[in-house]
Structure 1
Amino acid sequence: MLSTRLVTNFDQIRSNWNILLNQTELNAIFFSVLWQETWWNHFGSKKAINIIEAFQGDDVVGIAPLMIEKSVLTFISSTDLVDYGNFIIRDNNREAYLSIWESMLDLEWDRCELWSLPANSPILEIYPKLAENYGFRVEVIKEDVVPRLQLPKTWDDYLDNLSKKKRHEIRRKIRKLESFGKVEFRELKESKLVKKEMDSFFDLHKSSSVEKSQFLNNKRRRFIEEVSVKFAENKMLNLSFLDIDSNTVAACLGFETRDSYFLYNSGYDPEFSDLSVGIVATLYAIKNAIIRQNKIFDFLRGGEFYKYQLGAEDQYIFRLNISRL
């Protein structure tokens, strides 16, 4: 069994976290200490950090970013703002998962909810059996879809990989928009520019649907703005806008890590919906991701129809519920 320690604030673990994450294949932004600490600063009141760190000798081989709220042990962050949850384990070290489990048992919780687990997470293989051996009640639920595109090397290859119908529709939408007026697709990456244009993004986001407008309350807005600027400072943000005749009509908020682009949120002006400006903006984002040699375009949580129009295929995330009661 490996040794473990319980960490109750980010200052104790920030350096080890960054080193370990770079030694794993996890590339989603949500696993970074930058994301989770920013979330904690906005939403962590009345919750307790219970991060478990696993060591092999002096080397950190695993981190379980956990918190407890009202006797529920769960990941730091929340499903309204985060699309993946997981432990950070080097080489999927099974001993690290087992040691972390033993440490979890020492914590004060009645229920453990590990949500948004990718289908290939070893947690889904290891923990249900361990929990059942203790007589705990176990539930594994298919939580949601996370449509994803495997990006080819060129834009032409992307179009060729689509069905004839989808390819025709995409070309038609782009031609229609570009014949309407002068089209410009702007990508902002510098933190000062991102901060300056976040209000424009939020306006488009809120105007595109009632659901998005209701989602974007003041607390979420402040968090999204801060985390976006911080990721821009670390060269991992891409805020893009689609303009027609100098009118900004659509936007995409994306994060880029390693070889993947994550479309975190988007918005458009409904007055231009007949031009499919939201879809075309996403197409331009896909095209530029291909140019930058990204291999994955991740649409993140939700099975919205437009994602499949653009060729995405479903991946799944799961929730593991463990009850001691």
Structure 2
Amino acid sequence: MWWNHHRQAKMMIQDELYSFALRNAQGELVAIAPMMVSLRPGIKAFGIRVLQFFGADPNVTEIRGLICDPNYRELAVATLKNHLHTCKRKWDWIEWQGLSLPQALILATPSAEQPMPRVVCYLALPPTWEELKTSLSRNMKEAIRKCFNSLKRDAHHHEVHVVSKPEEVPDAMQTFFNLHTLRSEADHTVEHANVFQREKSRRFLTAFVHKMAEQNRLRLFQVKIKGQVVATRIGFVCDRHLYLYYSGYDVEWGKYSIMTTVVVHAVQWAIANGFEYLNLSTGRDYSKMRWQPTEYLLHNAIQISPRLRSAHLFHGYTRIRTGALSRFLSRRR
């Protein structure tokens, strides 16, 4: 699905499918590496060949990497590494993602500047909401109390609706995109990008959300006041985990900390339905950290092909990109 919506086929960059399926001795599928070779520029004879995982989009995909049975993770990465070494003419460098630290240290080329790891925050959920609430800081307890009391004080009754059925998706997604855009345009608050500004990103997410609904893995939380959705956040079910994705809200309700209200209801819903973990997604922003989450790191690595031309291409390409970014930032000052 990602490939259908986000594959590049332009003069300056073309993506070629280059994915792998790994099986054990019994023929059981134990890992999938959804990868592609990106040609930059898109001229096969002369282009730079970058091997990377699906998810090379403007922040729509939060986590990239190998999809693997945990019992085979180390073996799968080692097997893929060995195979790719035999095909070194097909790539100039690999952008590995979603690795453990030992894997990243083994795969990384020392001469290449390595990307920073990505932080994922999650909550281990106790049996009851009260038990979780008791473990929170005094400031967070006060923030929760305030967001509910402020609505009540101004006589704003709110209700929560959880979208999960395929027939509800079109309307729910249009509302989500509208509120996500409003959030990105809000002044005097934390800056949020409009991740779904591009039409192809909207088409991809809508198709993906619909597929998740068909599999009963969608939980899209909406807070309504007087029948109007004023805040929303997308959630995906993975076994007994609930992954909270992007959100949006009507800025007119920002003074009531309406997004805190949405998350509290999502947490309460997850606990009431027996979920073990709530994944707050990636990044260390304040809205996540005040829940005192557990963190784990997904490490990344740049591996340059042993071919001589590849090292020259990588360092030359990096210098050009760094220079272009510096010029762009200087014009914005």
- Percent pairwise identity: 25
Question: Which residue pairs with 1:31 in the alignment?
Answer: none
Q: Distance in 1 between matches of 2:102 and 2:30?
A: 19
What SS does the corresponding residue of 2:247 show, helix, strand or coil?
strand
Q: Which amino acid aligns with 1:161?
A: S
Q: Which residue of 42, 50, 56 corresponds with 2:18?
A: 50
Report how far residue 127 of structure 1 moved: 5.7
* TM-score of the two chains, using structure 2 as the length reference: 0.77
Report how far residue 177 of structure 1 moved: 1.9
What SS does the corresponding residue of 1:153 show, helix, strand or coil?
coil
The within-5 A match list for 1:1-325 is: 38-45=1-8, 46-57=14-25, 58-70=27-39, 71-78=49-56, 80-90=59-69, 91-92=71-72, 94-107=74-87, 108-115=90-97, 117=98, 121-122=99-100, 124-126=101-103, 128-129=105-106, 137=111, 139-180=113-154, 181-210=156-185, 211-213=192-194, 215-324=196-305, 325=311
Any conservation in 2 of the 1:268–1:278 contact (CA below 8 Å)? yes
| Structure 1, unpaired ranges of 5+ | 1-37
What SS does the corresponding residue of 1:299 show, helix, strand or coil?
strand
Q: Distance in 2 between matches of 1:139 and 1:128?
A: 12
Give the direction of change, closer, same or farther, for the CA distance of 1:144–1:191 in structure 2 (3 Å limit): same
Any conservation in 1 of the 2:108–2:114 contact (CA below 8 Å)? no
Report how far residue 93 of structure 1 moved: 5.3
Any conservation in 2 of the 1:142–1:316 contact (CA below 8 Å)? no
Question: Which residue pairs with 2:315 in the alignment?
Answer: none
Rg larger for:
2
Give the direction of change, closer, same or farther, for the CA distance of 1:315–1:96 in structure 2 (3 Å limit): closer
Report how far residue 89 of structure 1 moved: 3.4
* TM-score of the two chains, using structure 1 as the length reference: 0.79
Aligned length: 280
Any conservation in 2 of the 1:194–1:239 contact (CA below 8 Å)? no
Q: Distance in 2 between matches of 1:305 and 1:295?
A: 23
1:159-192 deviation digits (Å, cap 9, x = unpaired)? 0010122212212222222343221011110011
What SS does the corresponding residue of 1:146 show, helix, strand or coil?
strand
Give the direction of change, closer, same or farther, for the CA distance of 1:104–1:178 in structure 2 (3 Å limit): farther
Any conservation in 2 of the 1:253–1:264 contact (CA below 8 Å)? yes
1:120-147 deviation digits (Å, cap 9, x = unpaired)? x45x424643666xxx745543333222
Question: Which residue pairs with 1:5 in the alignment?
Answer: none
Range with bigger deviation, 208-217 or 300-309: 208-217
What SS does the corresponding residue of 2:194 show, helix, strand or coil?
helix
What SS does the corresponding residue of 1:85 show, helix, strand or coil?
coil
Q: Distance in 2 between matches of 1:150 and 1:298?
A: 9
Any conservation in 1 of the 2:107–2:301 contact (CA below 8 Å)? no
